[in-house]
């Protein structure tokens, strides 16, 4: 049995090819994919194992993939097939279009001689064929659509940072940034902190932030390590779909200063920003607004700690 599914998208063949190549990321991108492991990899070959949902059932298999990077062609063969098939081969192709590319996913398979007992309600080869046809039809279309969605979102992804040198002990700087409950008295943009949970290394809180038209409430989850504080926002402001980042602290100038860096990764909300100008303009507005608060935080900490040390 041979099937072919395709989609045309407004992204380059190379961008789409990289998604097909990066198997380890598939569980984050493809809805049917539950687990993906790369067993071995060279420039021209991958050995992988996949676990995915198929018609509500969970199946696993192992594949060898031949990679032609110049032609953007990936051929695969299941060397340890899923239970209902004797053999399966196929390919991913990524062909250029005037404004994007066409992705094609081909499967060719043969049903196993013994199929009873592997999947509920599949007892005959005919039932197994129907199961596999339905599974490939649904999953292939979902995977192709997921590549388009992933690349659409990636175009709205943005990362940036701000750094300041502070002349104070690292532990005092880190502790002050960690002590979020003190922020309303320290930071001009923070009006309130409602702490949900806090211990020596984990925090969850809701921060009220002053904005042009009032205040926004932002929930953050943070973790502290020896030289960094990492965080993400489960419910970011409406302008963003995702926001995560970190504070890092490193010694500079032969130990006379501490470089404090605020790093951010954001995914902008295209539904909100698409009608407000170009994507790059939207990214710049978000970067400016967030860096303004980050820089304000660092200036406030600098003033408090260096003033305290020089008093």
What is the homologous superfamily of the domain 167-310 according to CATH? START domain (3.30.530.20)
| DSSP helix/strand/coil, 267 | strand
Which residue do the tokens 């502790």 mark?
A: 175
Residue ranges of the chain assigned to CATH 3.30.530.20? 2-155, 167-310
What radius of gyration, in Å, describes the C-alpha atoms of the chain? 25
Compute, in degrees rounded to 10, the torsion defined by CA atoms 215, 220, 223, 224. 0
- CATH match for 2-155 among 3.40.640.10, 3.30.530.20, 3.20.20.140, 3.30.930.10: 3.30.530.20
pLDDT value, residue 278: 86
pLDDT value, residue 75: 98
Half-sphere exposure of 72 (CA within 13 A, CB side): 18
Order of strands, sheet of 157-166, starting from the edge strand that comes earlier in the sequence: 157-166, 257-268, 240-252, 228-235, 214-224, 202-211, 190-198
Helices (H), 105-178: 125-154, 170-178
Residue 123: C-alpha distances to residues 84, 131, 137, 200 (Å): 10, 11, 21, 56
Alpha carbons 64 and 70: distance in angstroms, whole number? 19
pLDDT value, residue 309: 56
Q: What angle do CA 87, 90, 92 make, to 5 degrees?
A: 160
Q: What residue ranges of the chain have pLDDT lower than 50? A: none
Which residue do the tokens 């388009």 mark?
A: 148
| DSSP helix/strand/coil, 16 | helix
Q: Is 254 left (phi over 0), alpha (psi -120 to 50) or beta?
A: left
pLDDT value, residue 3: 97
Strands 57-68 and 45-54 come out as: antiparallel
pLDDT value, residue 21: 97
pLDDT value, residue 211: 81
pLDDT in tens, 264-293: 999 999 888 877 778 899 999 999 999 999
């Amino acid at each position: 049995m041979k099937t072919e599914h395709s989609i045309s998208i407004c992204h380059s063949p190379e961008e789409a090819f990289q998604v097909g190549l990066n198997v380890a990321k598939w569980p984050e991108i493809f809805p049917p994919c539950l687990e993906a492991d790369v067993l071995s990899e060279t420039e021209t070959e991958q050995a992988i194992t996949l676990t995915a949902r198929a018609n509500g059932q969970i199946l696993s298999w192992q594949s060898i993939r031949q990679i032609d990077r110049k032609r953007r062609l990936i051929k695969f063969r299941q060397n340890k097939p899923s239970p209902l098939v004797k053999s399966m081969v196929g390919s991913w192709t990524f062909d250029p279009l005037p404004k994007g590319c066409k992705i094609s996913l081909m499967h060719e398979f043969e049903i196993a001689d013994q199929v009873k007992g592997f999947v509920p309600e599949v007892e005959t080869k005919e039932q197994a064929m129907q199961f596999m046809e339905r599974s490939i039809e649904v999953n292939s279309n979902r995977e192709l659509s997921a590549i388009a969605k992933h690349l659409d979102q990636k175009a709205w992804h943005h990362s940036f940072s701000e750094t300041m040198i502070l002349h104070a002990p690292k532990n005092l700087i880190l502790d002050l940034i960690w002590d979020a409950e003190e922020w309303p008295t320290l930071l001009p943009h923070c009006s309130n902190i409602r702490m949900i949970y806090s211990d020596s290394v984990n925090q969850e809180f809701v921060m009220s932030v002053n904005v042009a038209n009032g205040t926004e409430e932002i929930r953050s989850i943070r973790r502290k390590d020896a030289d960094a504080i990492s965080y993400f926002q489960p419910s970011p402001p409406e302008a963003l779909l995702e926001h995560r980042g970190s504070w890092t602290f490193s010694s500079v100038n032969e130990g006379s200063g501490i470089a404090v860096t605020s790093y951010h990764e954001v995914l902008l909300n295209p539904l909100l920003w698409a009608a407000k100008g170009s994507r790059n303009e939207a990214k710049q507005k978000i970067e400016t607004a967030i860096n303004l608060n980050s820089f304000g935080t660092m200036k406030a900490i600098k003033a408090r700690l260096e003033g305290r040390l020089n008093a």
